[in-house]
Structure 1
Amino acid sequence: MKLMKTIGLAMLASAAMVMATVSAQAAERVLRSSDTHPDGYPTVEAVKQMGKLLEEKTNGRLGVEVFHSAQLGQEKDTIEQTQFGVIDLNRVSLGPFNNIIEETQVPSLPYIFRSVDHMHKVMDGPIGEEILKAFEAHDLVGLAFYDGGSRSFYNSQKPITSVDDLKGMKFRVMQSDMFVDMVGALGANATPMPYGEVYSSIQTGVIDGAENNWPSYDSSGHFEVAKYYTLDQHLIVPEVLVMSKKTWDSLSAEDQAAVKEAAKESVPYMRDLWQAQEKKSEEKIRAAGAEIVTDIDKTPFIEAMKPVYDKYVTSDKLKDLVKRIQETQ
């Protein structure tokens, strides 16, 4: 079955590659990169920028082609394809890695970061490098962290102004046990499902809503079917750019260094695009008539997360990681 699945994933990737237009034709070797977001999205453009930098640094030996809009599959499938070496590079939220790589659970914890700036200081420093290194034991090489914004709840039913308003509601979450427990701790019901199924599921009443950042709420069109958006900012989960260990091992030490440099140098480019996109998306969503709840007391939300921390922060290693993040100024 594992072999058949691997073959199936390879066929899926190959079909998508035929459909895509290769923009890095000048490179001798084009690395295939996956993203579920649409063309023009900050993460997509950042990996394209990484590809340009990589071509320059390797004198045309390496380039990157980004297969956006989930052409190679949803995140869970593309993680497996990257581990198998079918996909060379992959931009994924840390959330789907929570059940695979223990260390990714900590920056995915609700309210672990005080602000986006706090997240940047942590993930750009030694703690971030430590978490990237943890990918190597899982056939992946962690290259860099991108922004994923702050995630908040949106729904089709009513404005959410308190924890009590969430009780009994059904929300889509990423396929992560931690996010399921987070929603449960708030008294709501979590439904893990692929990102691409959310719009129709809200539209048909399978779920009441989901949670995400401004650009995703916009680019997915979810604001059209879920017009109530509450800025509780429960998660500030970084995005991560990873490379297949098989691809990595096929590169010379010189080209490996170039890949890491290009990835790191694409981060400030991504952040500039992200800040502009957040502003643009917020303006568009407000103009479309969505009801935005900003005046909310986060304290009860934070206090409700104690059982989530108790369940997932169990080892001394993770407790130390939490402590070090909280102490980062």
Structure 2
Amino acid sequence: MRRKLASVVLLLMMLVVLAGSGRMESYNLPLTAATADTAEEVGAVVLVEFQRLVQERTNGYITVTLNTDGVFGGDRELIKGLQRGTVDLITCTAFKYAEYVPEFAVLDLPFLFFSTEHLRTVLTGTLGQVLMEKAWEKRGDYVLGYITDGPVNIASNRALASLSQGRGLRFRSLLLPSHRQTWEILGIIPVTLAFSEFKIGLQVGMIDAVETNYINYKKMRVYDTARFILQSEHYFPVQVLLLSKTAWQRIPLSYRDVVRECALEAIAYGSDELIWRNRETARELTEKYGVRITELSLAEKKTSRQRLVAFQEKTFADHGLKAIWPEVETSYQRYQAQAEVELERIRQSREKD
């Protein structure tokens, strides 16, 4: 009898262990990701790549359900959703996130970054780290990284060779106080007009010029009314890849480095892909649609930046980031100097030819 009882107990114990091990194998950590971007835009491209990488490298332990095209709402709804628990992982524009963590507003200063490479240098430096800390302190959001899809230029219904020629033009810029102040310092008074209305504004003569990247310029067929582009590269839109505090704390310590690595790789992939598409679109616009693209001279870019330095430094100070400004400014000067050296090398090479 005792032997039979012992056998039954042993059998039950084995069943419990097997059932437990089965549960462990089937258990996973689901994350709900969302962006207001369409499937072709940079936020969605980054999330798709992150989904692929993290599921592959955790052997399916972490799974990501992806929602694009604003299914969960716009940036504000997504940001709020991180704390409400309706979403775990999002991309949103830095200027929208600045409504909740004001320090992020400095990222949207026009003429702050010399190039995409400069932007990446700054955001992998002290500024990027401090902003990550502010997001965690003020909201409990974990910043996985910063996304960009390339610079913004000025499209106009008349040829512009310089920014100074834009004075007197009715120019539609991004509806942010820092942008308006920037253009006013440069002698250009922006016109208030919603992004969705700027093509109509060009058609009916409400405005003469707008700022946009090449992809949106083509997508909205702006070339129908504004065939001239001044390649000013004055503004580099930034998106933030954010994970909620709850989601971050649910991720086991052994997987956190993997999540961070996957995020950075996905950001690099998505940003590079959209920057490449922008460049290819620029080539297509000139070859197929007859758009005239004029590059802003380095000398004028330098002059414009010099006029804005005091305002930019004050903006950093107003947001408690005064100590970081010298690092940003020094790195800008370094990239500018490199460009000047390269320009001189090209000039001398042409003279020899």
Q: When the two structures are superposed, what TM-score results if normalisation uses the length of structure 2?
A: 0.72
Q: Which position in structure 2 is the counterpart of 1:321?
A: 324
Kindly provide the CA deviation profile for residues 157-214 of structure 1, in whole angstroms up to 9, marking residues without a partner as x.
3223333433344444444321232233332224264x54544454455544432333
Kindly provide the CA deviation profile for residues 235-276 of structure 1, in whole angstroms up to 9, marking residues without a partner as x.
234332112334434444445444322211213322431342
Provide the C-alpha distance between the structure 1 equivalents of 2:165 and 2:97, rounded to a whole number of angstroms: 30
Partner amino acid for 1:319?
Answer: K
Kindly provide the CA deviation profile for residues 6-27 of structure 1, in whole angstroms up to 9, marking residues without a partner as x.
xxxxxxxxxxxxxxxxxxxxx7
Provide the C-alpha distance between the structure 1 equivalents of 2:61 and 2:199, rounded to a whole number of angstroms: 41
CA contact (8 A) 1:142 1:243 kept: yes
Matches within 5 A, 1:256-275: 256-275=256-275
Provide the C-alpha distance between the structure 1 equivalents of 2:77 and 2:225, rounded to a whole number of angstroms: 27
How many percent of aligned residue pairs carry the same amino acid? Answer: 19
Offset of 1:99 from its aligned partner? 4.2
Offset of 1:290 from its aligned partner? 1.9
Provide the C-alpha distance between the structure 2 equivalents of 1:224 and 1:91, rounded to a whole number of angstroms: 32
CA contact (8 A) 1:184 1:190 kept: no
Partner SS for 2:107: coil
CA contact (8 A) 1:54 1:63 kept: yes
Provide the C-alpha distance between the structure 2 equivalents of 1:31 and 1:198, rounded to a whole number of angstroms: 34
Largest Rg, 1 or 2: 2
Provide the C-alpha distance between the structure 1 equivalents of 2:249 and 2:260, rounded to a whole number of angstroms: 13
Q: Which position in structure 2 is the counterpart of 1:120?
A: 120
Offset of 1:50 from its aligned partner? 0.5
Partner amino acid for 1:263?
Answer: A
- For structure 2, the 5+ residue unaligned runs are 1-27, 335-353
Offset of 1:306 from its aligned partner? 4.6
Offset of 1:220 from its aligned partner? 4.4
Distance 1:72 1:292, change over 3 A: farther
CA contact (8 A) 1:150 1:235 kept: yes
- For structure 1, the 5+ residue unaligned runs are 1-26
Matches within 5 A, 1:49-68: 49-68=49-68
Matches within 5 A, 1:1-329: 29-36=30-37, 38-136=38-136, 137-155=138-156, 157-186=157-186, 187-191=188-192, 193=194, 195-286=195-286, 287-296=288-297, 297-306=300-309, 308-309=311-312, 311-315=314-318, 317-328=320-331
Kindly provide the CA deviation profile for residues 100-138 of structure 1, in whole angstroms up to 9, marking residues without a partner as x.
433323333232222222222222234322222222213
Which structure features the higher share of helix residues?
Answer: 2
Offset of 1:230 from its aligned partner? 0.9
CA contact (8 A) 2:30 2:63 kept: yes
Provide the C-alpha distance between the structure 2 equivalents of 1:126 and 1:256, rounded to a whole number of angstroms: 22
Provide the C-alpha distance between the structure 1 equivalents of 2:172 and 2:250, rounded to a whole number of angstroms: 39
CA contact (8 A) 1:98 1:178 kept: no
Distance 1:326 1:310, change over 3 A: closer
Distance 1:282 1:177, change over 3 A: same
Moved more, 258-267 or 307-316: 307-316
Provide the C-alpha distance between the structure 2 equivalents of 1:269 and 1:275, rounded to a whole number of angstroms: 10
Offset of 1:317 from its aligned partner? 4.0
Provide the C-alpha distance between the structure 2 equivalents of 1:199 and 1:73, rounded to a whole number of angstroms: 24
Distance 1:176 1:63, change over 3 A: farther
CA contact (8 A) 1:106 1:322 kept: no
Partner amino acid for 2:160?
Answer: I
CA contact (8 A) 2:30 2:65 kept: no
Distance 1:298 1:272, change over 3 A: closer
Q: Which position in structure 1 is the counterpart of 2:21?
A: none
Partner amino acid for 1:318?
Answer: L
Distance 1:164 1:97, change over 3 A: same
Offset of 1:146 from its aligned partner? 1.9
Provide the C-alpha distance between the structure 2 equivalents of 1:206 and 1:247, rounded to a whole number of angstroms: 47
Provide the C-alpha distance between the structure 1 equivalents of 2:83 and 2:216, rounded to a whole number of angstroms: 26
Q: Which position in structure 2 is the counterpart of 1:19?
A: none
Partner amino acid for 1:326?
Answer: E
Distance 1:78 1:223, change over 3 A: farther
